[in-house]
Structures are given as C-alpha cells and as structure tokens.
Amino acid sequence: MATTTSAPEAILEAVGGPENIVNLSHCATRLRFELQDASVVDKATVEKIPGVMGAVPQAGDRYQIIIGGAVQGVYDEIMNLPAMKGGAGSKSGQSNADVKAAARAKARGKNAFVDAFFEYLSDSFRPLLPVLLGTSLIIAGEAVAEALGFIDTRADVKPASLAFVDAMYRSVFYFLPIMVAYNASKKLRIDPWVGTAVMAALITPNFIYMSDPERTTGVTCTVNETLGTDLCTATVFGLPMQLNDYGGQVFTPLIMVAILAPIYKGLTRIISPNLQMVFVPFLSFVIMMPITAFLLGPLGIWLGTALGSALAWLNNTAPIVFAIIIPLLYPFLVPLGLHWPLNALMLANIDSLGYDFIQGPMGAWNFACFGATAAVLAISIREKDKEMRQTASGALAAGLFGGISEPSLYGIHLRFKRIYPRMLVGCAVGGLIVGLGGGVDARTFAFTSLLTIPVFSPMALYAIAIAAAFFTSFIILFISDYRTAEEKAEARAAAAAEGFVEASPEETAADLALEEAAKAAAAPKPALVAGAVTELVSPVRGTVVPLAEVADPVFAGGAVGQGAGIEPSEQQIVVVAPAAGTVVVAPDSGHAYGINLDSGVEVLIHVGLDTVEMEGKGFEVLVKQGDRVEAGQELVRVDRAVVEQAGHPLTTPILITNTAAFASVETIASGEVAPGDPLLRITA
C-alpha cells in the first residue's frame, strides 16, 4: 500500500519525533541533529527515506542525515511541520524553546566531555597522517633494500647515504611531539606557536645535555635493569627533575596543551589587549615550561609506558586472544572516532620499545575491510551498477594504496547491514593467523596498505594474514551478496530507471516507446551527451588535496559526490564560479555554494569544514540563491584569520553532486592551482 507520509515527516519520525530533538541545524548537504537519545534512530530506516543519501551517527547523541543540495528545502519543511510548532516538548507552562534549551544544556553536560576528548585526539593527529604515511614508505623502501642484502640498518657504522635517508624519516618521528603540540593548540584555539615552543624546549640540545654529567653539574644517573637505559635526575632550583628523551612522545604534548589552553585564555582576559602580544606568551612560557618539565613530561612518559605495558602483557600472555580482539574491535572504533587512543599507543610503543605490536593485528581488520569492498566492486561490475562501481573502486584504491578505511566504511559498509558480520569473519581469520604465528611487529607507524607490507616483521606472516583476511571477506560477500533480496530488487529497479541495466520483461512496449520519445524530446546538456568530456576549473587558489584525504568522512567517502579538495593559500580567500550557471545553494552563512552549470554539471563548493558553525563570521557573501553567475565571477570572500581563529580547517571540497550521471569524475590537477586552472575531468 502506498504511503502518504512525506520525506520530512518520515525523517522527523525516524529520529524519534520533535520531543527527541535538542537542536536541528544544517550545512550545505546535511541535516545536523543533536538528540536526547540517538539510540532510537534506525540507520537502515533513515536511508530508505526518499531523498536521503545516507546517515552518519556521530559521537554522543549527534546524528547527521545526508540530503545533498536540497537540504535547505528539507530543513524548512521539517521546521514548518505542525509537530515542530507549538506545544511539542512544552511542559509546566514553559515554551518549546525553553524546554529545548534546558534539554540541550543537559545533553551537553552528559556527552560534551567525551565528544570533546575524542575530537581533541582526532584533530591533534589527523593533519599529521600524510607525513606519517610518507615517512612509512621511506622505511618500507629501506626494509626492501635490507631484505635484498643491499644495506644493513643495524650496523654500528653506517654509510653517510644511509644516515641521510634515516634522517629523512626520523625527522617526523623525533619531532612528533612538537607537531602534536601545534595541532592540539590550534584545536583548543590558542596561539599554536606558544604550545609548540613549550614542547620544543624539552627537545633542545640544552635540555638533552642536562642528562650528561660531564656537561652539567647536579645530575645523577642510574641504570634501569628492565629497560637497559640510564635514568637521570637533575637538581633544578633545588628541586629534582626527571630527565627523559621526549623525542617521539605524544602523551606529553596532549596533556601539556590541555593544561596550557585555560591558562593562556585566562591570561588574555586579565592582560590589556595592548600588552597581550608580549606578556601572554611570556607568562605562558614561565608557567608551563617548568610545569611540563617537572610534572607533565614524566607523567606523559609514565602514562604511555603503563598503557603500552598493559597491552604488551596481554600480547605476551595471550597472543592469540590479543591478535583476534584488535581486528574485531577496529570496525566499531573507527566509525566513532574511538581508534585515536590506540594510534597514540602505537606511537608511544615505537618510542619506548622501538617497535609496535598493535599495527600487525590491525592490518587484518583493514584488509578484511578492503576485501569486503572488493566484493562489492565485483558484484557491481557483474550487475552493471555504475554508481556503486564508482563508489567501490574509489574506496578500494584509497584502501589498498593508502590504507584508508573511511571511504569504504562510510560509502558502503555502514549502508548495508549484511557486510559487517561477514567482514568480521575475515578480521577473525587474519587475527588468528597473526596470533598463531607469534605476533607481528612494526618498526614505525604505518598505514596498513600494500605499499607498507615490508615495514612489518615477520613480513611473510603478515602478508599471509592480511591476504587471508582480504580473501575471506571477499569470498563470503561475493557468494552471499552484500544486499538483502529487497535491496537487490530496489537497486535493479533504480538502475533500470537510470538506464544502467536492461529493462525488465514486465515493461511494456508502450512504456519503452514513451520513454524513448521523452529522451528524444529532451535535448541533453553538453556535459551529459554520451562520451562528452568536460573540464571543470578550480574556483580558488591553493593546493589540491585528494578527496579521500579530506578530513570529513562524508565528503571523503564520496557520499555527496566525487571531486577534489583544495587547501586555500591566500590570506584573503576569493572563491569564484568555475563556469556559467545558476546558484541553487547559497546559505546566509556563506560557507557553501551549489551551482547548476549550463553544461549540465552540478557542482558544490564547500568553503572549509564545519564552517556553518561560524554563522557567516569572516564570510563576505557576494551572490544569493537564484542568481545567474558567469565563469570567474566572485561568489564569496573569506578572511582566513577569522576561520583559523575559530579552529575550523579551510580545506574546500569541490564536489560533483550529480556524479551518478557520469561515467567518471577524475582529478587532473596536483600541487598548486589558481582560479581557472583545470581541476576535474568529467566524462559522460
């Protein structure tokens, strides 16, 4: 029986009704809910609602529903529903707004700390992942050369060439605490160079020389039999200071910046603006450098060592259990952002032990994930499902060569409930092989991709484990399919409607004739003509970023469309129209612009990430919805300093929102681009 429930009503019902909504807002593509209880939302139900492109549960009780370019209209329709007006949620004479404000305060008190903690970890590490990946490939190259007998990385005396190559990757790992301090300071919205300088003080030659009794007086050292290293203590201002090597540490800068931030902000409130430039950094240094050296530094060392030792105990006591638990946990940790503490532990292990034992079992999870994606790709090729083929091929490439699982998770796996239980079998098989083989170690932090296999030891055991995980997931899913019978029927019907597969026998000759007549009557736009190739130019000056590396899983996974990201380079950022067309999305916040180009391409330019929260501050909007724009016409001017001070990334995704209408969307630019430079190649 056909339902008369509209999409806005269905969305409202799916999230638990107006009484469950603490706050509702939207950006250029997503409805952003803050709910009193997000557990009542059934993801599969939400994604079946017409017009919904996907659903993404967030930390705490936040929930995002992906709509695409029509989000403004859907938002307005939801807000205008009778249930959202008047008495919904009111009690004891309070207005609906008062009740929701109270609920919002209660919800934040309940979840805000946990949400903020994981966001803090995530944003402190995420910008470093590209350089960590790059350096891990240098180490992989060394491992291959050593396996072939060309070099000996363990020799006491090394050739200058090898020492130089070592310096190329050790720079990142040794100065990692400085980089983490910089990112953590930006996340907490204080001057990042202050946090950087405090942490750098503990890595200067002056501090390191304090551990040498021949260079510094008042230093005593003892040998730690367990670690086989010297533990030194210096008397500074009459107080004992434990001296540690802080190179490679991550817990110390995370703790330090968390303490520095309230001190820094407190100083800005009590010191006159005319004196802040000098005295806020000065007093921050005077307060935080001693606190870090005497207390927080040793605390960070102890915390990392204790957590690593606990996991090492489990790994040594029950290696099979440990090797199975890790890959079974990761599929649930990554979508929630809860894997960041484990990443920090991996880095701490490498610094304290010289190797890490978590990444090997983790590789079983990653390759089980990629095997499931490969099965989806194979099925989509067999059934000529162009949309899923595009999604799966991009996600698989990002996984196998970049070690990135988010495109697979958000683009495919979380959308189909049959995938996870089958993928977990692959995780368990890979982990079991690692455990039975006695474990796998890594000498560096590495994305578990095909390119970093040489980083792991023993390499043969690791290769067998990840291959078993990959093909177990692949075979099970390819045989059983990733969709239910209903989902397969819906997919085939949708594909037939789009002309991706042959029409079913039930379609009558009259229907086909009418369809062909309609197609003939409608002259296709230039970019939509079969075989047409359209180049889209960059709308902003900056550095091209692969879409899979954009720090937003919805964009990176291609849920809104394929495209590329750009890291703007100008202080005063100017965004222009890439081609002539009509503006269909231009919110007052100025953070996003949807343009239906005359060519038939539909493009979304999203200026920064989560910049909708700025409510237009720093954005000079130059067009409005419905405006006609020409190529090169300015859309918005953005003050970089205002956005950075608010703590939002400026990465600007350029997305083709009607990607499904094309055979491919390829990024053809790399490095620096200027407005008007070719960016994307779109093939009909």
Q: How far apart are CA 24 and CA 45, in angstroms?
A: 19
SS3 string, 260-287, reads HHHHHHHHHHHCCCCCHHHHHHHHHHHH
Q: How far apart are CA 30 and CA 381, in angstroms?
A: 30
Q: How far apart are CA 402 and CA 382, in angstroms?
A: 26
Tokens for 401, please give them. 């060569």
Sequence-distant (≥ 6) Cβ neighbours of residue 128 within 8 angstroms: 172, 176, 179, 180, 183
Quote the Cα angle for 608-118-259, to 5°: 95
Tokens for 587, please give them. 């919110």
Q: CB-hemisphere CA count at 13 Å for 161?
A: 4
What are 241's strand-pairing partners? 234
Q: Are 55 and 46 in contact (CB under 8 A)?
A: yes
Q: Are 131 and 172 in contact (CB under 8 A)?
A: yes
* Locus of tokens 């949620």: 89
Neighbour-count burial of 190, counting CB atoms closer than 10 A to its CB (0-12 exposed, 13-18 middle, 19+ buried): buried
Edge-to-edge strand list for the sheet holding 678-683:
533-537, 678-683, 664-667
Q: How far is CA 610 from CA 328, 453, 644, in A?
A: 31, 35, 12
Q: What's the gap between Cα 612 and its chain centre?
A: 18
Q: How far apart are CA 219 and CA 371, in angstroms?
A: 56
Q: How far is CA 392 from CA 282, 285, 396, in A?
A: 52, 50, 6
Q: How far apart are CA 202 and CA 279, in angstroms?
A: 22
Tokens for 543, please give them. 């550095």
Neighbour-count burial of 93, counting CB atoms closer than 10 A to its CB (0-12 exposed, 13-18 middle, 19+ buried): exposed
What are 641's strand-pairing partners? none
Catalytic position from the list 27, 232, 369, 427: 27
Nearest to 603 by CA among 556, 665, 530: 665
Q: How far is CA 499 from CA 397, 507, 513, in A?
A: 27, 13, 14
Q: How far apart are CA 239 and CA 216, in angstroms?
A: 15
Task: Establish whether 232 is a catalytic residue.
Answer: no
Q: How far is CA 285 from CA 197, 280, 292, 297, 528, in A?
A: 8, 9, 10, 15, 60
Q: How far apart are CA 255 and CA 252, in angstroms?
A: 5
Q: How far apart are CA 243 and CA 208, in angstroms?
A: 8
Q: Are 633 and 579 in contact (CB under 8 A)?
A: no
> First CA to last CA across the chain, in angstroms?
37
* Helix %, strand %, coil % of the chain (to 5): 55, 15, 30
Q: Active-site residue numbers? A: 27
